[in-house]
């Protein structure tokens, strides 16, 4: 009996460290080798409720792989894996090595591929303790030139004010981006259709425009997608924007759309990127997300 007890830990160690081959001898680099089989792998089948579903599989482990069977809330049937607090499709096109994703937009500048769709934008979501609730339907705009692609804008009321970086991350979470407003036509459309309701007229809204200092060059404002503002060409050419006259702009490196109380025309102002309220004390508690699709 004593010999059997001494052998037991040894046998358990062999079992734990062993490689497994099904209908084949396992390759020395494989923990599980099924290459000798002419059959596939049938994974667990799960009916997810949304990409943020944490109730169907509580406390999912990072990298957990399942086959989703539902087509609701932006989901489609297919393989999904758990990554950074949400379910990602295995065929996700969110690949940072992509350069241009559509006319004028560069993922290498933005830092990710904005592959989200306005048609599947959720009615609500929560990120870093901030609850975002969708405000009405998304709106679509197309620049007035041949070959221009439509851009879509979805608005969200936020449970509290957020700084610029948090707004950026919330738009990224939806695989969209903060608004990049490169023409007067686009700006007029947004004012008339996306930020004209009583639910958002008194809110400040961050946009994707920041001061960046490139080495060896003076600091300048750039759009986060790498796009360029259109120009009013004349003997005194100007960019198409809607900045308000503003003093004391030191260290105010991010840009927002003003609330209607401070500026009836909703012009743009500079604010410190870490601000959750503007200089006039109004909160940044509304999110506008732009989508390419």
Domain end marker among 58, 92, 126:
92
The pLDDT confidence band at residue 84, using thresholds 50, 70 and 90, is confident
Q: Are residues 275 and 245 in the same domain?
A: yes
In a domain, 8, yes or no: no
In a domain, 5, yes or no: no
Q: Which of 31-35, 51-55, 129-133, 274-278 has the lowest mean pLDDT?
A: 31-35
The pLDDT confidence band at residue 1, using thresholds 50, 70 and 90, is very low
Q: Are residues 132 and 243 in the same domain?
A: yes
The pLDDT confidence band at residue 7, using thresholds 50, 70 and 90, is very low
CA 259 to each of CA 60, 202, 269, 279: distance values in angstroms, whole numbers, following the listed order:
41, 5, 10, 11
- For the segment 20-30, what is each residue's pLDDT rounded down to a tens digit? 877 788 888 88
pLDDT at position 2 is: 46
Q: Are residues 69 and 136 in the same domain?
A: no
| Residues contacting residue 269 through CB under 8 Å, at least 6 positions apart | 243, 244, 246, 255, 256, 258, 262, 263, 278, 279
Q: Are residues 33 and 127 in the same domain?
A: no
In a domain, 1, yes or no: no
DSSP 273: T
Three-state DSSP at 133 gives strand
Q: Are residues 31 and 49 in the same domain?
A: yes
Q: Are 134 and 246 in contact (CB under 8 A)?
A: no
Q: Are residues 65 and 112 in the same domain?
A: no
Q: Are residues 81 and 168 in the same domain?
A: no
Q: Are residues 175 and 152 in the same domain?
A: yes
Section 146-154 average pLDDT: 81
- For the segment 239-268, what is each residue's pLDDT rounded down to a tens digit? 667 767 666 677 889 999 998 888 888 999
In a domain, 16, yes or no: no
* Mean pLDDT of the chain, nearest integer: 82
Residues composing the chain: 293
Q: Are residues 85 and 105 in the same domain?
A: no
- Report which of residues 256 and 42 the model is more confident about: 256
In a domain, 6, yes or no: no
In a domain, 13, yes or no: no
Alpha helices in the chain (DSSP H): 2-17, 107-110, 164-173, 184-193
Q: Which pTM was predicted?
A: 0.65
Say how many domains are in the chain: 2
Domain end marker among 73, 92, 111:
92
Q: What's the CA gap between 141 and 185, in Å, rounded? A: 9
Q: Is the pLDDT of residue 182 over 90?
A: no
In a domain, 209, yes or no: yes
Three-state DSSP at 184 gives helix
Domain end marker among 92, 115, 141:
92
Q: Are residues 107 and 248 in the same domain?
A: yes
Domain assignment of residue 187, given as a range: 100-291
- Report which of residues 174 and 147 the model is more confident about: 174
Q: Are residues 156 and 38 in the same domain?
A: no
- Report which of residues 218 and 99 the model is more confident about: 218
In a domain, 4, yes or no: no
pLDDT at position 133 is: 95
Q: Are residues 57 and 86 in the same domain?
A: yes
pLDDT at position 97 is: 34
- For the segment 117-148, what is each residue's pLDDT rounded down to a tens digit? 999 999 999 999 999 999 989 999 887 766 67
| CATH number of the domain to which 134 belongs | 3.10.100.10
């Amino acid at each position: 009996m004593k010999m059997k007890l001494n052998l037991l830990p040894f046998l358990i160690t062999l079992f734990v460290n062993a490689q497994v081959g099904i209908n084949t001898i396992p390759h020395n680099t494989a923990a599980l080798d099924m290459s000798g089989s002419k059959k596939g792998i049938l994974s667990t089948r799960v009916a997810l409720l949304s990409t943020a579903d944490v109730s169907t599989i509580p406390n999912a482990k990072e990298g957990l792989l399942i086959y989703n069977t539902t087509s609701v809330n932006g989901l489609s049937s297919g393989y999904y894996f758990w990554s950074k607090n949400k379910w990602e499709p295995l065929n996700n096109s969110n690949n940072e090595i992509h350069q241009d994703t559509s006319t004028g937009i560069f993922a290498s500048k933005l830092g990710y591929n904005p592959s989200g769709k306005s048609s599947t934008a959720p009615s609500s979501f929560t990120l870093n303790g901030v609850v975002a609730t969708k405000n009405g339907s998304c709106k679509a705009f197309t620049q007035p030139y041949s070959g221009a692609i439509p851009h879509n804008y979805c608005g969200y009321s936020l449970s509290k004010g957020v700084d610029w970086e948090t707004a950026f991350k919330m738009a990224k979470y939806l695989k969209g981006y903060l608004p990049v407003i490169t023409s007067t036509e686009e700006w007029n459309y947004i004012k008339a259709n996306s930020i004209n309701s009583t639910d958002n007229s008194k809110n400040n809204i961050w946009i994707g425009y920041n001061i960046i200092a490139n080495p060896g060059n003076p600091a300048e404002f750039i759009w986060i997608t790498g796009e360029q503002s259109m120009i009013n060409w004349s003997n005194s050419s100007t960019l198409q924007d809607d900045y308000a006259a503003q003093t004391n702009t030191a260290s105010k490196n991010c840009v927002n759309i003003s609330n209607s109380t401070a500026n009836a025309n909703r012009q743009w102002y500079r604010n410190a990127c870490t601000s959750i309220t503007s200089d006039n004390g109004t909160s940044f508690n509304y999110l506008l997300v732009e989508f390419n699709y």
